[in-house]
């Protein structure tokens, strides 16, 4: 998040929560025309219970009332929603700035020009390799050229500094300088984020997550390139020494949360799992009530135990790392991050694997809305609206 | 121009402030920067700046004399990040 480095006391205060989130992600749809192997939300098929255009506008009204200054819109592919431009326009009109993430496939020259004409709209194009081979292995055939076309279209439309958003993997960790050069060539900003074992990422994390050596290189690269955007996602690397810029804490339910396409509110974008579902914007009291009074968020704002990390000298720097990464690899939430730079996570994972008599039961995010996956309609009621879309 | 307590200032028209228990969050819709106002009286001061002929008088009205230097420094920082501007 684009925050100034705050004093430690402020960070402590953030851990108790705020009246409204600083960083809110809103996934508009589970529909997606790609099927990235690390998709956090296992997107693919549209959920029939998706918020209607009127409900989505009501969410914008609430964000306005709560003084949420901007929202990170994602999906799925958000541009698939037929009311995408209406909704973005409405948010901007109400003083809620929009930053949206897209795979770029639908960012035609006409749409690029339309976006360039809007105030307070930022665009983030996802790209996971500086060549088609590396990128398309993760994001699917043709996705590299589609993303580059979208960048060309934004540049031609005079949009200005859009963002190139990269999930750092074992396969692209050696391309950071090339990503940087690509961003520079467009006058764009480079954004690097951490791979999480969430969504379909649960099944690919073992093969994709960076090695310890790559993590160390990344840490130094980030220190050398402090203008790189990270969404504070690599705070677990601060255990390597000097803190990286930003809030060094897990913001889940404290400064961050996620609204999913059907209006469910989760603690962060990486924990789409029942255990971290705080409520729904469709509940009485709406989003504000979920944020301010839900049992889950209240619990997350309590002082957290350092658990197995209490005796580690780096705990103050890394705060035990990412809750979602621990949860989906089967590690206790008060234990080390699976990618702990001191190797405590690897040891804990090995211990977990060695101690098990039964097959290891790890909380699985489920196949969610993957096109090949189990359909949620098998367990949940579906509300079908007959007739034409508004 | 550096911050000058004799000068009149106001909250930047593109800035919105949200009060929080620790103070407030200021968001600048132009440069899209989020700035933390780390004390509740600082929020009151920034909101009221535009009604005073000088920063010094606004500070006098909101802050104990011994705390003045802290708030002058805070306002200088907020001028840099365009949360406030000269008028």
User: How much is the average pLDDT of B59-67?
Assistant: 94
- What's the pLDDT at A294? 96
Confidence of residue A383 (pLDDT cuts 50, 70, 90): very low
Query: Rounded to the nearest 5°, which phi and psi values hold at B65?
Result: -55, -40
Q: Å from B61 to nearest chain A CA?
A: 26
How much helix, strand and coil, in percent to the nearest 5, is found in chain B?
40, 25, 35
Q: How far is A366 from chain B (nearest CA, A)?
A: 36
pTM over cut 0.80: yes
Closest residue to A3, CB basis, from B18, B29, B36 = B36
Residue contact B34–A18, C-beta within 8 A: no
Rounded to whole angstroms, the Cα distance separating A354 from A97 reads 49
Backbone angles phi, psi at A99, to 5 degrees: -120, 120
Contact A320, A308 (CB under 8 A): no
Residue whose C-alpha is closest to residue A200's, from A369, A46, A332: A369
Dihedrals φ, ψ of A179, to 5°?
-60, -45
Residue A8 — pLDDT band, cuts 50, 70, 90?
very low
Decide: helix, strand or coil at residue A191: strand
- pLDDT higher than 60, residue A390: no
* Contact assessment for residue B85 and residue B28, using Cβ atoms and an 8 Å cutoff: no
A99-108, A170-179, A293-302: segment of lowest average pLDDT: A293-302
pLDDT band, very low/low/confident/very high, at A10 (cuts 50, 70, 90): low
Contacts of B18 in chain A (CB under 8 A): 19-20, 67, 69
| Helical residues (DSSP H) of chain A, grouped into ranges | 8-14, 53-65, 84-93, 109-116, 132-139, 143-156, 176-186, 201-208, 212-224, 286-293, 295-300, 315-318, 323-329, 344-355
A229-242: average pLDDT: 94
Q: Please, how many CA atoms are within 13 Å of residue A16, restricted to the half-sphere of its CB?
A: 7
pLDDT band at A304 (very low <50, low <70, confident <90, very high): confident
Please, which residues 1-30 of chain B have a Cβ atom closer than 8 Å to chain A? Answer: 16, 18-22, 25, 27, 29
Question: CB neighbours (10 Å) of residue B19?
Answer: 15
Q: How confident is the model at residue A136 (pLDDT cuts 50, 70, 90)?
A: very high
Q: Average the pLDDT over each of A51-55, A260-264, A351-355, B56-60 and give the range with the smallest value.
A: A351-355
Please check whether residue A20 touches B, CB under 8 A.
Answer: yes
Pairing of strands A97-102, A121-126: parallel
In the numeric block, the tokens 């920034």 are attached to B46
Contacts of A119 in chain B (CB under 8 A): 29
Question: How many whole angstroms separate alpha carbon A127 and alpha carbon A180?
Answer: 12
**Percentage of residues in chain B with pLDDT exceeding 90?**
85
Give the mean pLDDT of A237-253: 89
User: Phi first, then psi: what are they for A193, rounded to 5°?
Assistant: -130, 165
Distance from CA of B74 to the nearest CA of A (A): 13
Q: What are phi and psi of B24, to 5 degrees?
A: -170, 170
| Buried/exposed A24-53: b ≥16 CB within 10 Å, e otherwise | bbbbbbbbbbbbbbbbbbbbbbbbebbbeb
pLDDT digits (tens, 9 = 90+) for A282-296: 999 999 999 999 999
User: Exposed/middle/buried for A121, CB within 10 Å: 0-12, 13-18, 19+?
Assistant: buried
B35 closest CB neighbour out of A4, A13, A18 = A4
Is the dihedral angle over the CA atoms A314, A319, A324, A326 positive or is it negative? positive
């Amino acid at each position: 998040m684009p925050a100034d480095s705050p004093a430690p006391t402020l960070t402590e205060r953030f851990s108790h929560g705020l009246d409204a989130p600083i960083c809110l992600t809103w996934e508009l749809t589970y529909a997606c025309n790609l099927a990235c192997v690390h998709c956090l939300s296992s997107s693919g098929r549209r959920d029939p219970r998706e918020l209607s255009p009127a409900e989505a506008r009501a969410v914008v009204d609430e964000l306005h009332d709560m003084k949420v200054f901007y929202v990170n819109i994602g999906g799925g592919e958000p541009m698939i929603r037929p009311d995408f431009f209406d909704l973005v326009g409405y948010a901007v009109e109400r003083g809620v700035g929009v930053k949206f993430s897209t795979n770029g496939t639908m960012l035609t020259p006409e749409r690029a020009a339309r976006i360039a004409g809007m105030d307070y709209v930022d665009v983030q194009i996802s790209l996971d390799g500086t060549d088609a081979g590396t990128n398309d292995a993760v994001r699917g055939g043709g996705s590299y050229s589609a993303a580059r076309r979208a960048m060309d279209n934004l540049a031609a439309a005079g949009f200005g500094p859009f963002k190139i958003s990269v999930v750092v993997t074992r396969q692209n960790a050696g391309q950071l300088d090339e990503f940087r050069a690509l961003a520079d060539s467009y006058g764009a900003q480079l954004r690097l984020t951490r791979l999480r074992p969430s969504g379909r990422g649960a099944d690919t994390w073992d093969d994709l997550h960076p090695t310890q050596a790559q993590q160390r290189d990344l840490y130094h690269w980030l220190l050398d390139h402090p203008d790189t955007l990270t969404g504070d996602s690599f705070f677990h690397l601060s255990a390597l020494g000097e803190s990286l810029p930003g809030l060094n804490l897990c913001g889940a339910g404290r400064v961050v949360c996620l609204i999913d396409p059907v209006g469910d509110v989760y603690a962060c974008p990486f924990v789409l799992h029942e255990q971290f579902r705080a409520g729904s914007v469709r509940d009485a009291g709406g989003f504000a009530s979920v944020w301010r009074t839900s049992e889950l968020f209240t619990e997350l704002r309590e002082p957290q135990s350092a658990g197995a990390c209490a005796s580690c000298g780096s705990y103050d720097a890394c705060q035990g790392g990412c809750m979602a990464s621990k949860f989906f690899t089967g590690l206790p939430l008060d234990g080390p991050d699976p990618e702990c730079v001191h190797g405590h996570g690897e040891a804990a994972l090995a211990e977990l694997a060695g101690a098990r008599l039964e097959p290891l039961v790890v909380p699985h995010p489920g196949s969610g809305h993957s096109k090949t996956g189990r359909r949620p309609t098998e367990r949940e009621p579906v509300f079908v609206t007959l007739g034409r879309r508004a | 121009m550096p911050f000058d307590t004799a000068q009149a200032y106001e909250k930047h028209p593109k800035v919105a402030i949200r009060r929080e228990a620790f103070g407030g969050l200021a968001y600048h819709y132009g440069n899209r920067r989020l700035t933390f106002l780390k004390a509740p009286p600082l929020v009151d001061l920034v909101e009221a700046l535009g009604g005073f002929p000088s920063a010094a008088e606004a500070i006098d009205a909101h802050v104990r004399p011994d705390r003045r230097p802290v708030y002058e420094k805070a306002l200088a920082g907020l001028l840099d990040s365009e949360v406030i501007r000269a008028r």
